[in-house]
Structure 1
Amino acid sequence: MIFDNFLVGRQPILDRNEEVFGYEFLFRKAGDVENKAEIFDSVVATSRVLVNIFQNFGIKSLTNGKYAFINIDEEIIEQDVLDVLPKDKVVFEIVETTNVKKEVVEKVAAYHRDGYMFALDDFVLSSEYFAMFMPLFPYVEYLKVDMKENCLVKMERVEKIFSGRHMMLLAEKVETRGDFDFSRDCGFELFQGFFFEKPTVMNKRNVEPGKAVILRLLSHLSQNAELDKLEAEFRIQPELSLKLLKLINACQYCLRTEINSIRHALTLIGRENMRKWLTIMLYASTGGKIFKSTLLETAMLRAHTLELLSIKVFGENYTGRADAFFIGLLSYVDVVLGVSKEDLMESINVKPLIREAVLERKGELGNLLAILEDVDDANSEIKRNKLAALRLTEEDISDVKFRGLDWLAEQQSVYNSI
């Protein structure tokens, strides 16, 4: 698969209940040693690659059935390629630099009549923007308003300004809880920004007992512990044991085999499947809505992507792949569970290799983790020399990221069945 040497990522778009509504797909180039990474600016090139990605991976795997928001401008509109993507799950974002000429308006109108959906991106509440983009208003379902480019007074009036135009208002660059609350009070229905992906730990608290058991089990698996030790943990957790039995039944790990003990169940499921299942259980809330939170998705995606990347770098027979998964998981678990990484390390007694990778980004896996963190942070710098030292390309990173998304969709399906 060709990614034209740039990195593809996605950012969630949430509704007023903070549930995922869709994802915007973002592009960035890896910078040279001196240059800061930046968002890739060729809309035509990125759109072509997205078509390629969706056709190869399948849009459902990449969005879990939610909407995909994709940037376009007049060049891609005029090339008549939009109809290769599914009209019911893709929203085309017309970027603010688009030349809204007569031919473009006519093309958008024709696509809209055929059932395609459009958004206006980075809209500024000014007379210039209204004059420029008003010809497109009848064909636009979503209006994305940049919180940082519009004054608070205009934001407060936005619902009244667009009353009766049948456009859903989306607030962009929502970076704090205050931003979210303010924009919601202003009448916005959808929200996008780093606030939903990178909240800070507000206060220190202990790991919940049930989750501590799961973390211990994951640590045991990472250290290739004996089956006796794993069985002992399950014996003192009847609820977890029951869910294990339900999982085996739902996923048909055994072909209608009678399960005669916890040990037998552990043998049937295998260490690899057990590790992935425990990861899901770690993040399951009391209500069971594990995948409601974008944070939980991000943590699981980080874990599996780091595992895939370690295999890419060190080979299919790499013995540290389980460590890579666990390190990726722990790198995000502090903001998910609300505890510091240091306290977490003490509570589950991980081996030095994992501790150093998570806390200090040391070692071969710590180095890979640092690269993934740079990729995930749109404001961070991705240095080509780091990738080159590991014989990695932007295409390699994008490939493992999308394979990770495919895996995440599969895990969501498994969890929903038990």
Structure 2
Amino acid sequence: MALKQLMLGKKIEQRKAVLAELLEQENGLNTRSAELEAAVEEAKTDEEIAAVEEEVTALEAQKAELDEKKSKLEGEIAELEGELEQLNANDPRDQQRSANTQRRGGNEMTKEYHIAQVRKMLETGEYYHLPEVRDFYEKFKNLRVVTGGELTIPNIVINRIMDIVGDYTTLYPLVDKIRVSGTARILIDTDTAPATWMEMKSSLPTGDVGTITNVDFDGFKVGKVTFVDNYLLQDSIINLDDYVVRKIARAIAKALDLAILKGEGSANKQPTGIIPAIPAGNKVTVEADAKLLVNLLKQVSLVDTGDDSVGEIVAVMKRQTYYNRLLEYSINVNSEGNVVGKLPNLQQPDLCGLRVKFNQNMPLDEVIFGEFEQYTLVEREDISIDRSEHVKFVEDQMAFRGKGRFDGKPVRPEAFALVTITEPTNP
């Protein structure tokens, strides 16, 4: 990166640090304002009223001065960021890096970087003062004035929503995620043959013809209607933001987890789930007899064949399946009933070191072993929201509908195995 770009980055960092200090000062002034409101109510005599009025005047002057400093600083930051963006656009090295981020790994790193930025801004309070966030929630409160009655959620709020989605799901953090703006096509190389030894002057052999496979992704709508008390709409954007994004995130999270496991595919306008795509040869049954744990773990070989390196294999099951069938294998006792082996860690359960994730969408007595990074979830960049004030008019609540578009499918279905636990034929 050129020296001028480094300097611009340093200036932006310095001004954002100053802005964070101003935001802290603003929080202090807001606290003082609330105290003065109480003092106004308590003032009885003319002297007390005059004293409070003098403090109010001074506070308003401080607020005006602070707002002026903030406005000037935000303008400088926006100008510097625009200049830096223009320089980056003209830098061939940055153009190459930008192209690289379109790949799955780079895209994921870029998204994680933006999500980390949002977390940091939430800690400092800067997030709630960003112009795009404040503008979004002002429009959110008055959604009827938006053309068509629909409001597109800005990217920074989307990053906050998708960060919270991870708190409400067990499968979403495991799968490979790509954020795109249009129909996506991913090239998958299915050739896993080893390299060939040869003489120095020999020509290099190529892999099997047609090993590159196209995997197309669409964008199917997922939506959820939630209700917000009208009094909350008039409250601060902090309370509104926390309430609304958690409602939307939780609804999207539950829909995504179900789709990742059992999605019925494009014919039903859904992502393709893992279970419907698992090859018949990777669907087996084991009996719940004395060798259940051994026979169950043997099925990992369906996924980890040794032909090629694989990522982490995770076992996914319903919570009751673990408690009813497998918990006892984590507790070893001697003839006197004393525990001699390790106790199960129900916060981070495992099977002989194999990580276990609970998901209530799994059928009872069924276990999936899989390398979940072989499932790709495509997230469309636009999430929108609209509202209706007629549904719960009597309850003084506003109905909000959050809508997003996603698609997903296992790019290597053979990277998953489904094991069904059955009752023993000879108990």
TM over 0.5: no
TM-score normalised by structure 1 residue count: 0.22
Q: Which has the higher helix share?
A: 1
